[in-house]
Structure 1
Amino acid sequence: MREPPLHLDRVPDPKLQHVLEEVIRAETTLELLVGIYEVVKPALIEAYQLHQLETNRFMDQPTYRAIRFILMEEEEMVAWGQSAIQALIRTKQDSEAAEAWRSHLLSYLHHAGGIRGEHTQAEPHNLPPARFNGESYKPQFYPKRDERFIDMFNRSAAIDDYYQDEALQPDERTYALMYKRLREMDVPEWMCPILFTANDKPWDYYVDLSRQLYDEARHAMMGEIGLYQSGIPFYRYPIDIKASVSLNTAFTPLESHIILWGIEQDLMSGKSGKKWEHDIAVQSGMPLAITLQDYDWADEVLHAQIGRKWLQPEFGALSEMHVAYEEMRKKWIETTDKYVNLSEQTPWWPQFVMEMREGWERRNEVGHYGG
């Protein structure tokens, strides 16, 4: 702090870097969660707590205060993560795999001396064989969904048309909006390559894009809650993944980003965009749906601004961004057409609407309206 710049983008300790390189090479969801919530975050919490114990609370009050709030959030995250880990441990083999990976990572963390580098360090010959071989991590960007998801290229339901169809009842149009929110789980999938491949960007870039990724994941969970209010598991019906599959395999991250921005920019129209979606939810009289669309609307206004902020320097002018978007959108439509034959395209929307209506009626009978 006394000799800026601080160079926070530089690795402070190669051994600590090795710990994180091991964590990211988790081979299963269970391993990834164990690495984050049973190794890295608990070690961070310990480091924060030690700082609070050792520092002068008068001299270092700003830091002490900041750590109080950081600890509250980190402890909440660890509690959630540990619950998720327990949900994934279904067999003795799962339990043994989780413990083996935890022990593996703790060995490397111990070798690094902990987060603060002050604990007793193990000798290298005592370390288990590393998964990190010195090469840069290369993720697989092809989207993966677990065994609960079915018929993932079924696009027989024209959801984007249903909510816009004024001939349909307001409740069905609102169910289409809920499903559209649920389907947004593909947006974080195609945002990951954008973020991962962005090198040497200003810190604000990563903050903005991470905030947007969080929002998009939250939107999908909003849709999930909308289905669960009628007693429908979110994975019961097909959730089409052609968008993220095509963008992650046939487009560059910059091309994917311009498509993402273009979609969000189009949603700023008062007659056909987010305001209109909110109006549809209001017509349905469903408090939860109204709240859902209200926050979705607010988020997308921010997202359109984020896209413009970081993409315009790449293209030089807003008009060039629009041209690039139209070109990429046409290519995108052509690319997604090849996935049609990967599904029998069995219709499911009428059954879904019937189930949603029945579930909503049950909630009304017992006085649970959502909000």
Structure 2
Amino acid sequence: MDRPIAYDKLAREERFVRMRAREVAELKVAQGLPPFPDLSSGESIKERVHGIMVGELQAMEGAGRSVCDFPDAPWDFTMDMARQVWDESRHVEIYLRLLEHLDGYAGEYPETTILWRCACAEDAAARVAGVNRGLEGLACDVFNQLVHIARKIGDPILERAVDFVLADEITHVRMGSKWLTKLTEGDAERRRKAIEFQESIDERFNLGGVRREGDHEAVSISIATDVRRMAGFTEEEIERLIKTTQRSQVY
């Protein structure tokens, strides 16, 4: 397997259009639109769901890479990554159905590639720190907010489906915490580098302050502090994330 695999080598149907996240944001701003869907309308909710769907697709591919990339890792690690592939594939199916429910379709919006590019760390400990704790932590924020918005607008199908997926994301974060600890046991330097990689992912996906603490309807992505506690993040980690939201690079 080539490492890393370029995002344009990922298998896709012709209906998918790949673009860099920065380019998508710039085009939207030029049209007078917010750079990130703000959930203020049915169209923005559909766009958010489409973005989640392609994110789940890339998460499935990333977990599949983790099954293959680390042949010397403990067997239980490989099994956990394989279970995550199954979870993510199920999530793709769920979000494809939700797109239909929202009168949308796969390929209606561009597929950004930032998630895949963040899921290709060469070290297994860094991979689970960045993906399972960083990106899946982001998923906890995004999904928790979407559940609340769906409840407010009276869409029980969207609410229940996303809540179902959120339960899986919580287990993925816990899985990442477990393997970060096990893989770096007795190696403080490896752990430090893995956590630094996770923190770089956190800052990148703060999206220049788009993700921050606040009411679900007041910010584009609200930090799900209660869900993060449930997933096993410490108070110190949550506070650090909140503090970084005002100094993050955009895309």
Structure 2 length-normalised TM: 0.61
User: 2: CA distance between counterparts of 1:311 and 1:274?
Assistant: 24
Identity of aligned residues (%): 21
Aligned to 1:46: none
SS in 1 for 2:144: helix
In structure 2, the CA distance between the partners of 1:175 and 1:243, relative to structure 1 (3 Å rule), is same
TM-superposed CA distance for 1:289, in Å, is 0.5
Q: Deviations over 1:192-214 (max 9, x none)?
A: 32221112333322221111122
Instruction: Kindly report the root-mean-square deviation, in angstroms, between the aligned alpha carbons of the 2 structures.
Output: 3.2
Residue 252 (structure 1) aligned with residue 128 (structure 2): no
User: 1: CA distance between counterparts of 2:90 and 2:158?
Assistant: 14
User: 1: CA distance between counterparts of 2:99 and 2:35?
Assistant: 15
1:147 is aligned with what amino acid?
A: E
Residue 326 (structure 1) aligned with residue 199 (structure 2): yes
Aligned to 1:192: 64
In structure 2, the CA distance between the partners of 1:241 and 1:140, relative to structure 1 (3 Å rule), is same
SS in 1 for 2:112: coil
Q: Are the aligned partners of 1:141 and 1:193 in contact in 2 as well (CA < 8 Å)? A: no
1:181 is aligned with what amino acid?
A: I
1:187 is aligned with what amino acid?
A: A
User: 2: CA distance between counterparts of 1:266 and 1:148?
Assistant: 27
Q: Deviations over 1:86-114 (max 9, x none)?
A: xxxxxxxxxxxxxxxxxxxxxxxxxxxxx
Residue 141 (structure 1) aligned with residue 5 (structure 2): yes
User: 2: CA distance between counterparts of 1:226 and 1:152?
Assistant: 23
SS in 2 for 1:214: helix
User: 2: CA distance between counterparts of 1:240 and 1:139?
Assistant: 20
* Aligned partner (choices 107, 110, 113) of residue 241 of structure 1: 113
User: 1: CA distance between counterparts of 2:72 and 2:169?
Assistant: 26
In structure 2, the CA distance between the partners of 1:176 and 1:151, relative to structure 1 (3 Å rule), is closer
In structure 2, the CA distance between the partners of 1:315 and 1:266, relative to structure 1 (3 Å rule), is farther
* Aligned partner (choices 204, 211, 214) of residue 86 of structure 2: 214
TM-superposed CA distance for 1:247, in Å, is 4.1
TM-superposed CA distance for 1:306, in Å, is 0.8
Structure having the higher Rg: 1
2:174 is aligned with what amino acid?
A: Q
User: 2: CA distance between counterparts of 1:283 and 1:273?
Assistant: 16
Aligned to 1:299: 168
Q: Are the aligned partners of 1:160 and 1:176 in contact in 2 as well (CA < 8 Å)? A: no
Aligned to 2:225: none
Q: Are the aligned partners of 1:267 and 1:273 in contact in 2 as well (CA < 8 Å)? A: yes
Residue 289 (structure 1) aligned with residue 158 (structure 2): yes
SS in 1 for 2:137: helix
Q: Deviations over 1:207-242 (max 9, x none)?
A: 211111221222222221122224433123212123
TM-superposed CA distance for 1:301, in Å, is 0.9
SS in 2 for 1:155: helix
Q: Deviations over 1:246-279 (max 9, x none)?
A: 644xx425334321122323555xxx45433321
Q: Are the aligned partners of 2:147 and 2:162 in contact in 1 as well (CA < 8 Å)? A: yes
Long gaps (5+) in structure 1: 1-136, 334-371
User: 1: CA distance between counterparts of 2:16 and 2:76?
Assistant: 35
Q: Are the aligned partners of 2:63 and 2:82 in contact in 1 as well (CA < 8 Å)? A: no
Q: Are the aligned partners of 2:49 and 2:98 in contact in 1 as well (CA < 8 Å)? A: yes
SS in 2 for 1:162: coil
TM-superposed CA distance for 1:243, in Å, is 2.6
Residue 310 (structure 1) aligned with residue 189 (structure 2): no
In structure 2, the CA distance between the partners of 1:242 and 1:324, relative to structure 1 (3 Å rule), is closer
1:201 is aligned with what amino acid?
A: A
Q: Deviations over 1:259-312 (max 9, x none)?
A: 1122323555xxx45433321221121122112211111101110111111122
Q: Deviations over 1:50-76 (max 9, x none)?
A: xxxxxxxxxxxxxxxxxxxxxxxxxxx
User: 1: CA distance between counterparts of 2:102 and 2:200?
Assistant: 40
Q: Are the aligned partners of 2:118 and 2:130 in contact in 1 as well (CA < 8 Å)? A: no
1:145 is aligned with what amino acid?
A: R
